[in-house]
Structures are given as C-alpha cells and as structure tokens.
Structure 1
Amino acid sequence: MAENLNTHTTSPLKIIPLGGLGEIGKNTWIFQYNDEIMLLDGGLSFPTEEMHGVNLVLPNIDWLIENQDKVMGMVVTHGHEDHIGGIPYHLQRLRIPVIYGPRLALALLGDKLKEAELLNRTELVSVGPRSTVRVGKYFLVEYLQNTHSIADSYTLAIHTPVGVVIHTGDFKFDHTPVDGRKFDYQKLAEHGEKGVLCLISDSTNAEVPGFTPSERSVYPNLERYIKEAPGRVIVTTFASSVHRINMLLEIAQKTGRTVSVVGHSMLNMIAKAKSLGLLADFPESLLQPVPVTNGLPPEQVLVLTTGSQGEPMSALTRISKGEHRQVKIKTGDTVIFSANPIPGNTISVVRVVDRLMQLGANVIYGKERGIHVSGHGAIEDQKLMLALTRPRFFFPCHGEYRMIRRHAQTAREMGVPAENIVLTENGDVVGLTPEAIRIVDKIPAGIDLVDASRSSMVNDNVLKERQRLAEDGFVAVAIALTPQATFAARPQIAVKAVARSAETRNLEDVIRTALVRAQERFGEFRLPGEAGEPEQYDWMAIRQLLERTVKQVIREMLQSYPLIQVLLQTPQVDSAAVLPSLPPVRGEAEALLAP
C-alpha cells in the first residue's frame, strides 16, 4: 500500500503532455510538483509523407533539458515503440537517473541502450504487478496489471501531494487474456472507493461503440484459415503482439506445422518473451530456421514475419518484391495479415497485398475476416474505467482531437461535470489541485526529426529544403570569374526534377543569356585601388547580382519555386579592404552538374 503524500499543500501538481495529444504516437508526459519532475513514457511516432528522408519523429525536449536538474526519474507503462522508442534519443541529451518499468519493456529498452552505448546513462529497475516505486519526494507510483496488445502492460496509480492520479496507459478490458494475466479490477475499484482525484485515460478507440473484443476471439478464425490452407502459410502481425504469437505457435503445433520466424524485431521479441516466461512452453522442435522449413512439405510449414504495415525494409515487403534471400512466394502459399493498417499505412499495405497476389499467393486480410482485434478499449471499456475509478477530474489523452473530444463526451455521460474535464494540446501545462483542474501555462512542444540514417537530427530548414526539392526540383548554376570580372568559361546550368512546358524548354539558354547581360554591370562593383595595382572587385555584390538574376528568370518562366543554388568561383585576392572571396567550388559544381 502506497503511503499518503497529501500534505494539504496549496501548490498545484503540473501535468504536461509533450506528445500523444491530438495525434497517435510519441506519448511522453511530465509530472511536476514544486522543484521535482517525474517523466512518464518516452515514445516516438513515424513520419508523414511530406517528411522526406525522416525515419522517426520525437517530441522536442528542449524545455526538459533546461530543467533537467529537476528530473528525478521516469516510469514506463509498457514496451510499445510509441511509449519507449524515444528514450534512447532523449538520453543522449537528458539525464534520467532511474527508469522503472515492466520487465519486457525494460528488456527491449535495454537492448536499445546497449546498441547506442547508453546503458551507463541511467539505471533500469524492473517492476511487477502491484509494485510501488518512489520517484523523488513527491511521487509514489503503483503498477496495476492491465490488458493490452503487448504483454506486461500496466496502468499506473500515481500518489501525489494533491491526491491520486490514475494514468491508464494503453488498455482494454480483456476478460479472457491469452496469458491469463487479468486486469487488476480490484485495485482500480479500491482506488475509486478511496477517491481518485484525476483520471488520465487512453482515447484511441473513443469513437468505436461497444467493448473491444478479447484477444482470444481471433483464435478460431486464425485456426480455420491455417487449417484449411493447402500449402505453406505465412502470417504477418505486429512483432510486439506476444499474445498473438503465442496463439499462432499453439495453432501451428495443433495443425502439425513447423514454424520459422523471419524479421529481426520479431526474432528479438520472441527471444525476450521466452526468457521472461511470457511465451508458452512449446517443444524446441516447433521453431526451426528457414533453411530447415524450406526442405519440408509446404503444408507442414508456417512462417511468422514482420511487415504487417508495409514498411519498406520489412521482411514481408522484401518477400513481396522477390528480394528476400530465403523466402520466395510460390503458387499455393497463403499469406495472412493478422493486423489492420495503422492510419497512413493503408496504401503501403495494399501495394504489398497486390504484389503477393501477383506472385500467386492467396492473401487473407481485412477487418471482416476476424483475424485481428485492437489493443485499445472502445466506448464501453472507457465507461467501465470511469465507473471503476470514479474520478473527480478527467483528462482524456492518447488520440487525435476528435477522439479526445468524444472521450470527454463519454465522461460527461458518466457524470463527470464539463468544468471538471480538460481538453489540451501538447505543451499545455495543466494545473491540478483538489479543487480544480485547468490549463495554467504553455511550454514549447514541437517535434524533433531523426534522419533516415538514425545518426542525426533534421532541422526545420533542412526539411523545408527537402520539401522544395521534392515538390519543385532544383536548379544549379556554376560560374567561374577571372580577376578582370569576366566569365572564365561558359556558365554551367543543371535543372533537375523541374516540370517543363513547351515555353520553358529553353530555360537554360534564357538563364545563360540573362547572366551575360548581368556581366555587363560588373564594372559597377570595381573598387578604388592604388595606381599600378590590379583591378579589384566587390565579389560579394557580384554574387548577389548573379543570384538575383537567376531567381528572376526562374520566377518569370516557371509556375513553381525550385531550390536554387548559385556556385561562384572568384579569384583569390590579398587586399584586406576587399570582402573575402568565396572558396573555389569547381569540384562541388562538377559533382552537382554531373548527369
């Protein structure tokens, strides 16, 4: 039992979402009381189509870095990437003394930190059901088992000086969980009886009526499709879906199929789940490498693979393109998508399905097949959470704005007064006291973009340049000048990815003619010098004239705004009175202008 931290103080508890409000993903929370901060989760999300060359999207943590001396630690709810994926990147800049979390989440996080050589930056402490941990002076956190699409997932009861705050994490009420680990209804109801000041609750399925079906409900349909398949079966699902993987392994054993696992993330998840006792005890002979199952009759083989979202580098995408070294689609294969596309991934998934069909596979996919269920509670689940906890104040989270607004409506239907419900955006500082909840301030809450190389960040200017390149193309002009301010050679012009019409086919010639005319004005930029000394010029002013000339021609001839790069090579000069010349750029120009 957590001790009572209510000191009857008038100081408010500040709750600040850095991510997860008005969006799906990058769930990251700040809880601050006086001079101490506790973090809850540190997730990431994935780029939209216009984020060219971006691999991951993180919440901006500049405010946290400015206040990192106040950070006492972090608590983690579960192991999904949208809750732990950003932590390794944050630890490169932010000191987090200790991170508490479920065993599976910390096993996955530990691998990430080891790979990034960051294990010495924090202490990882595993917790179990009904564990209580202290973070600083002001926060005691109880871990309450819940049910979700990943094993080892928790709802948190956070004891603070102003009262108990329940953060649901991601949840649904699954009465027949695959692993038998049921939601801790008793503790939720106990807190509701004693008094919950505020409920912060997952809104992902706030628009979906009814209860979310149990994970176990997909078992009969999966079994039927696998049993009826005439040849090899390939099943793709989320690598984190340990419950689904457990069922598929059980079905494979039941139907006499040997299983191969394809995809690094799924192999890693299965290894972690097995070592933690989260995977059922199957005979070792059930799981075999692909070369072994390739030698078995097709009707005796089941392949588990990543790629349910059509990710470009995933195993299933490479299989659909015929690019996987070990798994090739053959006529008679059955491919089962035991996952629904996340918003934004539908087109990628459909393309994979089309390619698999073209290769001769029978593809089973779609909601109507009954082979996937969500890990998030629908409206009736959300009502049950409100009924068990009976909060005075309500803070809907984890969802796009329409979901959060609909969840607030559900709370009003359950008796929470409208004035006791707060609707926020990322960066809003919510002040919570025993008497009131309201937005009291705002902190910066932008995004940080991780380059596709995963080795650096993409700033706003770089992203804007990439967007311009993708939308309007690129024009490069290379010019070399003599000491007498004449062209040393014919200006070289390259136009890349720019849409042309009949009127603009001669764009290069028009630019070159305009540059020759601009050269006639170079005399205006001659600098006064001593008698007998060679002529000197204001090379910077000449450069600006040439840039303006190129931009003017392009604006007059094109309806688009391509990125323009003028590369100017000027003579080296010694006089300190002259603006420094630009460095030689012939090599750069040749590289840019190469076909």
Structure 2
Amino acid sequence: MMPNVSELPAPPVLSADTLRVTPLGGLGDIGRNMTVFEVNGQLLIVDCGVLFPQEKHPGVDLILPDFTVIEDRLDDVVALILTHGHEDHIGGVPYLLKLRNDIPIYSCELTIAFLEPKLDEHRIENTNLNVVAEGDRIKLGNFDCEFVSVTHSIPDAMAVFIRTAAGNALITGDFKMDQLPLDGRLTDLRSFARFGEEGVDLFLVDSTNAEVPGFVTAEREIGPVLDSVFQQAKGQIVVASFASHVHRVQQVFDAALLTGRKVALIGRSMERNMRIAHDLGYLDIPEDVIVSSKEIMNLPAEQRVFMATGSQGEPMAALGRIAAGEHRFVTIDENDTVIFASSLIPGNEHSVYRVINGLTALGAKVVHQANAKVHVSGHASAGELIYCYNILQPANVIPIHGEVRHLVANGKLAELTGVPARNVILALDGVSVDLYDGEATIVGANPCDYIYVDGKSVGDLSEDELASRRVLASEGFINLYAVVDFENRQIVSGPTIKATGMAEDDTVFADVYPAVEKALQESLTVEHPNEYRSQQAMRRAIGNWVARKLRRRPMIVPLVVASTDV
C-alpha cells in the first residue's frame, strides 16, 4: 500500500552508518528521475532528469525535480552519477549545476557527450566531468560505486552497485534484458549474480513495464519490419523517434540504404545527438545516405526519408509542425508514410493521437506501435524483472521509475520471488527510506513539488497560477468594468462586460446586465463602500448567472475605478 505522503513526518536526523534513500523524481511519474543517497553526512545523487509537460500544464516548458531537500546541503554532495543519456535522466542537470556548478559528474562516454552541449546552452562551466565504463569501481566519499552495463534503448546505459557502511544498494536505471542487442552490449547478469552472492541489501529497480508479461522483443526484430515498410512506401517517409534513440536511427539508415533512399535529420536535438553518436563511433552512417535538408528537397519524393523529433505529439517538435502544416519545408501528401518509431509515454496519448489524426487527414499512411512492430520498449517486462529478482535475491526492494500502477505491479513481482511483503517499499517522490541492519523502513517525507520551467522562470509558477491557465484555456475569460462615484454612491459609467475565449458573443450578456448593475448599486449602500466590495459584488452576480445559464466557470476579473481617479 502506498504511504500517504501528506501524513508522514519530516525525516529524523540520520543515524551513523545508516543509508538514507530519498527519490526526488521518477516515483509516480515517467520522468524527472533523481535519487539521493545519504550516509554519514555525505550525499550521492543518481540521475537528474526532467518530466515533459502534458496538456494539463499549459505554457510549461519542462518540469524539474524539487531540489529543496538538498539545496542547503550542496557542499555535502560528493558526486552526481548519470545512468544514461535520456532527457528524463539528464535534462535537469543544468538547473542543478546553477546551484553548485562544480559537482563532480560521472557517466559513460556518450552520456557525457550529450550533456556537454546542454551545459554550453545554459552557459555553465563544469570541468569536473568524468567518463567511466562498465566494470569501473570508484570510491566517491563514503560511497564505493561499481558500474555495470545494462541494455536499454540508448547505448552505454549503466546500473550502479553502491557499497556503503550501512549495506549495499543496486540501482538499475532504465534497463531490459535483450539477449541479442544491436551493439552486442548485454545486461551484465554475471555481475548481477556476483552482487547477489555479495548481498544486495536494497534493490532499486525500473518498473515501467512491470505490468507487461513475458520478455521484451529483441531490438533486431524491428529492422526487418522497417525494411518492409520502406519497401512498400510509395512517397516520402517521415520517421519520428526520440532524439537520443541511436539504435532506431541506425535501423532507419540501414533501411534507407536497402531501398535507395536518402535521409535528412530534422530537428536541432536530432542533428546534434546523431552527430555526437557518429563521432564517438556509436552510429554507423552508410556512405552518401545522409544529406542536408536542402539537398533532400531536390530529390523525388520516393527517395526521401526525414528522421524527425516529435514522437510524443509535442506541438512544437518537427512532427507536430508537419502535421499542422506549419513546417518550413516538409509537407505531407497522399502517398507519404509516417512511422512513429517510439513507445507511447503514459500521459501523452491524447497529444500523440491528435498528431496521428492530423497526419491521416492529410492522406498519409501512419505506422505506429499499435498497428506494426516498429518499436520495442527499452524497459524490462515482468519476466525479466522476475529473472533479476531470482538472481539477486535482494533483502529489500524499492520499485522506481514508473507510475503508481507500475510500482505496485513491480512490488508484487518481488513478493512472488520470495521478498517479504514488509521488505517491499512502495514509496513516492520525497519519501525517505532508511536502511539499517539489513532492514529498510520509511521514516518520513520531504517537500517534493513539481518545479516548472516557464521560459526563463524556474520555480516561480505556482499550482494556483497553473490552474488559472487551465481555466483560461478551457472556460474563457470575462472582464467587467465600471466607474463609480463612491462619495455620492453613484455609478458613473458601466458596468461593461467583455468575454474572451468563449463561444458566445457579448450579446449573450444582455440578460445579466440588470443583475450586475443592481449588485453594483447595492454594494454602494453599505457603510464604507470601496472598490473591492463593488468588484466582488459584480463577480458574484455574473458568476452565478454564467454557471446557471451557460454551464461555464470562466475566469472573471472585475475592475471598479473611483471617479476621482479617472
């Protein structure tokens, strides 16, 4: 059963030789992954990602972990470890480094390479970037960290085995157990078995696919499907994927080479990441297959492939603009094919299907995970998780990286393999879990709000202000204006009513004008009339009428001005 975070006390002072684990993101959402480990006065952070906004977050650019719990203890941070290069694990790093820019960062070669341009964009100089590889074992303050290869949908992903005075913890990051990975880099089950022999006191494990039975399909099975789709396509092809999915981009290049097509990368992040991956040897670009966006437009449609961002329905990404007919050079015709070569992140369903519908309306054939095997997940399914539990035989388990249903399903898998129910810790962001003498226990909770990035503003947008945006977007806006002579208790001008963002025009308010005027006049009969009382009187009058007659709850902003101020 999930703890009620609001009812938990603040965590107590941490005892000596006790390991405290506090997730600041990733538990309850797919995104903004960040976990803080603490022992004997020192902190180790694993991952610092972002959550991408949904339709309920109008105007928001990114959502960050809440750094409040560590903000006053940044000098105690011995290192930040990044398990892999996806945005939900590294996107928040620049914002953390704005609080302390010299935090030592450890990760694999590709992840560090993806991180560096992000730091440049934010004008952050961190010369303490350290490349590690699987098999490396490094002492970081009170934490003895060993890096282990795992298979994921991006090269160079790693799990981390953390040895401390309080016991050993293994955090997987994102992983699966593809037995035939495209790059030959397996999840290192031999090391997992070795850790199991040594003793895994706390296992923090990816939960995203815990509800999915069996094993994830091998990545290499996607290649023949893409080849077939390319061979059948009559016009141009647009493939949408994550800008960091190197393996999928490689398969697109291979399919293009097979069918005599050229590929143009669309989107700044796609171009940048694939250039980095190629320079480091993670991406093999067949000769003369990749061309510029200008060159590809000189080719006939049946020779074009656009590799684009926007697979999650983001309106400003390349595919979203293509679907809306707003892209600067890519347009969709009746013979074109669009391939969604990525999984659907929970919460993005409406946005993705809106884009699919838009593309279909333009005449495109849209191929996606629901109608063709053009993508496989990068996360372990139930069979793989059970396999890991049996190898590791952990004493305690904290399911991570998932919505509540994923965490609960993962916890049940742990119990099936023999982990006692009391040792399966179902927690949410902000909850602190202490490991002492082999027992993991929830000890309290910390503030852990969504931190919104809105343009240049970070953390200034409140939930109330966001709620106001949602009202404006869904219900509209009504402005009332009047000029009043408070000394003589008379209405000088108005009231006038103006609606914005509502289907009805302003003539619909003819019936309510008398009620608003009456309420305004009555507000002038009290002992000390003032602008605030008059404004509230008008608000109540029109608010009740709109709710009753129009079945709406718009934002209502009344303004009463004293005649002496006019």
Q: How far 1:209 sits from its partner (Å)?
A: 0.7
Report if aligned partners of 2:481, 2:494 keep a CA contact under 8 Å in 1. no
Report if aligned partners of 2:200, 2:395 keep a CA contact under 8 Å in 1. yes
Aligned residue number for residue 276 of structure 1: 280
What is the TM-score of this pair, normalised by structure 1? 0.86
Deviation by residue 1:237-291 (Cα, 9 ceiling, x = unmatched)? 22211011111112212222211111222111101111221112532x2110122
- Asked if 1:468 corresponds to 2:475, the answer is no
Report if aligned partners of 1:238, 1:306 keep a CA contact under 8 Å in 2. yes
1:61-100 to 2 correspondences below 5 Å: 61-94=67-100, 97-100=103-106
Deviation by residue 1:186-217 (Cα, 9 ceiling, x = unmatched)? 22222222222221110110011111111111
Q: 1:356 to 1:26 in 2, by over 3 A?
A: same
Q: 1:498 to 1:518 in 2, by over 3 A?
A: farther
Aligned residue number for residue 301 of structure 2: 298
Q: 1:471 to 1:255 in 2, by over 3 A?
A: closer
Tell me which amino acid in the other structure corresponds to 1:117. R
Aligned residue number for residue 48 of structure 1: 54
Tell me which amino acid in the other structure corresponds to 2:439. A
For residues 465 and 332 of structure 1, the distance between their equivalents in structure 2, rounded to whole angstroms, comes to: 43
Q: 1:399 to 1:498 in 2, by over 3 A?
A: same
1:111-260 to 2 correspondences below 5 Å: 111-120=117-126, 123-136=128-141, 138-260=142-264
Aligned residue number for residue 334 of structure 1: 337
For residues 77 and 116 of structure 1, the distance between their equivalents in structure 2, rounded to whole angstroms, comes to: 22
1:498-513 to 2 correspondences below 5 Å: 505-513=510-518
Aligned residue number for residue 553 of structure 1: 541
Report if aligned partners of 1:472, 1:499 keep a CA contact under 8 Å in 2. no
For residues 139 and 494 of structure 1, the distance between their equivalents in structure 2, rounded to whole angstroms, comes to: 63
What is the TM-score of this pair, normalised by structure 2? 0.90
For residues 96 and 36 of structure 1, the distance between their equivalents in structure 2, rounded to whole angstroms, comes to: 16
Tell me which amino acid in the other structure corresponds to 2:213. P
Q: 1:505 to 1:227 in 2, by over 3 A?
A: same
For residues 88 and 272 of structure 1, the distance between their equivalents in structure 2, rounded to whole angstroms, comes to: 19
Q: 1:503 to 1:362 in 2, by over 3 A?
A: closer
Q: 1:493 to 1:228 in 2, by over 3 A?
A: closer
Deviates more, 1:171-180 or 1:333-342: 333-342
Report if aligned partners of 1:236, 1:306 keep a CA contact under 8 Å in 2. yes
| Structure 1 counterpart of 2:557, from 543, 555, 565 | 565
Q: 1:248 to 1:454 in 2, by over 3 A?
A: farther
1:8-23 to 2 correspondences below 5 Å: 11-23=17-29
For residues 38 and 46 of structure 1, the distance between their equivalents in structure 2, rounded to whole angstroms, comes to: 25
Q: 1:297 to 1:465 in 2, by over 3 A?
A: closer
Q: How far 1:503 sits from its partner (Å)?
A: 8.7
Report if aligned partners of 2:531, 2:561 keep a CA contact under 8 Å in 1. no
Report if aligned partners of 1:207, 1:378 keep a CA contact under 8 Å in 2. yes
Aligned residue number for residue 434 of structure 2: 431
Aligned residue number for residue 4 of structure 2: none
Q: Find the residue that maps to 1:369 and give its secondary structure.
A: coil
Aligned residue number for residue 414 of structure 1: 417
Aligned residue number for residue 535 of structure 1: none
Tell me which amino acid in the other structure corresponds to 2:372. R
Deviates more, 1:407-416 or 1:293-302: 293-302
Aligned residue number for residue 35 of structure 1: 41
Q: Find the residue that maps to 1:356 and give its secondary structure.
A: helix
For residues 469 and 64 of structure 2, the distance between their equivalents in structure 1, rounded to whole angstroms, comes to: 19
Tell me which amino acid in the other structure corresponds to 1:130. G
Deviation by residue 1:462-504 (Cα, 9 ceiling, x = unmatched)? 1232233334433333344558455554444323346879996
Segments of structure 1 that go 5 or more residues without pairing to the other structure are: 1-8, 526-540, 573-583, 587-595
**RMSD of equivalent CA atoms:** 2.5
Report if aligned partners of 2:478, 2:499 keep a CA contact under 8 Å in 1. yes
Q: How far 1:327 sits from its partner (Å)?
A: 1.4
Report if aligned partners of 1:71, 1:96 keep a CA contact under 8 Å in 2. no
Equivalent pairs: percent with the same residue? 35
Deviates more, 1:351-360 or 1:559-568: 559-568
Report if aligned partners of 2:497, 2:509 keep a CA contact under 8 Å in 1. no
For residues 369 and 130 of structure 2, the distance between their equivalents in structure 1, rounded to whole angstroms, comes to: 40
Q: How far 1:147 sits from its partner (Å)?
A: 0.5
How many residues were matched structurally?
Answer: 546
For residues 519 and 412 of structure 1, the distance between their equivalents in structure 2, rounded to whole angstroms, comes to: 69
Q: Find the residue that maps to 1:551 and give its secondary structure.
A: helix
For residues 544 and 238 of structure 2, the distance between their equivalents in structure 1, rounded to whole angstroms, comes to: 56
Q: 1:455 to 1:29 in 2, by over 3 A?
A: closer
Tell me which amino acid in the other structure corresponds to 1:566. P
Q: 1:277 to 1:198 in 2, by over 3 A?
A: same
Greater gyration radius: 1
Report if aligned partners of 1:18, 1:427 keep a CA contact under 8 Å in 2. yes
| Structure 2 counterpart of 1:359, from 341, 357, 362 | 362
Q: 1:113 to 1:162 in 2, by over 3 A?
A: same
For residues 440 and 96 of structure 1, the distance between their equivalents in structure 2, rounded to whole angstroms, comes to: 31
Tell me which amino acid in the other structure corresponds to 1:557. W
Q: Find the residue that maps to 1:179 and give its secondary structure.
A: coil
Q: How far 1:330 sits from its partner (Å)?
A: 2.6
Aligned residue number for residue 578 of structure 1: none
Aligned residue number for residue 495 of structure 1: 499
For residues 183 and 145 of structure 1, the distance between their equivalents in structure 2, rounded to whole angstroms, comes to: 6
Deviates more, 1:362-371 or 1:39-48: 362-371
For residues 323 and 281 of structure 1, the distance between their equivalents in structure 2, rounded to whole angstroms, comes to: 29
Deviation by residue 1:32-63 (Cα, 9 ceiling, x = unmatched)? 11211111111121223322222222222212
Q: For CA contacts below 8 A with separation 6 or more, give which structure has more relative contact order.
A: 2
Deviates more, 1:466-475 or 1:330-339: 466-475
Tell me which amino acid in the other structure corresponds to 1:222. L
For residues 539 and 486 of structure 2, the distance between their equivalents in structure 1, rounded to whole angstroms, comes to: 25
1:326-405 to 2 correspondences below 5 Å: 326-405=329-408
- Asked if 1:266 corresponds to 2:274, the answer is no
Tell me which amino acid in the other structure corresponds to 1:81. E
